[in-house]
Amino acid sequence: MLLAATFTISGCDPLTAQTKPPTPPVSQDQTDDKPAQTPVQNEPNEENETQEKPVQEEPAKEQPVSKPTQPAQNEKPAGQPSQPVAGAANSLTVLVNKQLGLPDDFQPSNLTDDPNLPFLAGGGGEKRLMRGEVAAALKQLFAAAEKDGLYLSVASAYRSHATQTQLFNYYVQTQGETEARRYSAVPGHSEHETGLAVDVSGRDGKCAVEDCFADLPEAKWLAKNSHKFGFVIRYPKGKESVTGYAYEPWHLRYLGVDTASAIYAKNTTMEEYFNVK
């Protein structure tokens, strides 16, 4: 499928360091998934933070992709109206991907900064926000993990449309649109803009929002148990051609227990479950 064409490296913007783009001049923090990298002040990872790189993960190597055949949305310039999302934008089951985007003026309801949720050091600002339903479920998930001896934290959650736009435009200006699309989600197309996506790491921040997280016990626990609390691993391994994104074991998407459990049981993706291509 067309989607496959451009795999972004991640839905989240990476923190990873490999291919790091230059640091944006911006002063806010932004960060999508991975990326955290805007110049932000709070960054989750140590590494990332420390460096100022905006980084996202590297796109590269794993991606096969050629240049896309770009499906429509990929081509949409920043700031333009996105295509319709599947379902109401504020629904807990809204599907946002490279083809389906949020309205430019979308603002999730009930964004909350829960003081009882642990965040990686340096985490602050809008990336601490998530919808109230998500915060409540995530606290339960973290408590269950602790019973199994695993201590989790949030690396990054919400990212506003304005922040995503600023970050994306920065990449376009400095590296051109093709490269920008590899590093960052087009505004309106980052799942972090819904307030329903959370990047989770171990409390020590090891491999936070990096590929090596997949080998840690925390990632294995999340893959096996997240659905019980209403979350799915949104970009599973082996589904890159369906989701458009490389495997992101840290990126959880809240859908509610029933839907998340159904997707888990079928070992499928949101695109397949909702029959959206």
CB of 191 to Zn ion, least distance (A): 7
For residue 1, give the 3-state DSSP assignment: coil
* Interatomic CA distance for residues 97 and 171, integer angstroms: 20
Q: Which is nearer to Zn ion, 192 or 227 (CB)?
A: 192
* Interatomic CA distance for residues 222 and 250, integer angstroms: 8
**CA angle at residue 122 from 155 to 249, to 5 degrees?**
15
CB of 147 to Zn ion, least distance (A): 25
The residues carrying an active-site annotation are 248
CB of 219 to Zn ion, least distance (A): 13
Applying CB under 5 A, which residues contact Zn ion? Answer: 12, 33, 199, 251
Structure tokens at 107: 């603002």
Q: Which is nearer to Zn ion, 4 or 12 (CB)?
A: 12
Q: Which is nearer to Zn ion, 235 or 264 (CB)?
A: 235
DSSP secondary-structure letter at 86? B
**CA-to-CA dists, residue 5 to 20, 97, 115, 220, 252, angstroms:** 21, 13, 40, 28, 23
CB of 200 to Zn ion, least distance (A): 9
Question: CB atoms < 10 A from the CB of 179, how many?
Answer: 15
Q: Which is nearer to Zn ion, 12 or 180 (CB)?
A: 12
The backbone torsions φ and ψ at residue 106, rounded to the nearest 5 degrees and listed phi first, read -65, 135
Query: Taking the chain, what is the end-to-end CA distance rounded to the nearest angstrom?
Result: 9
The backbone torsions φ and ψ at residue 28, rounded to the nearest 5 degrees and listed phi first, read -95, 180
Q: Which is nearer to Zn ion, 67 or 155 (CB)?
A: 155
CB of 178 to Zn ion, least distance (A): 22
* Interatomic CA distance for residues 70 and 46, integer angstroms: 34
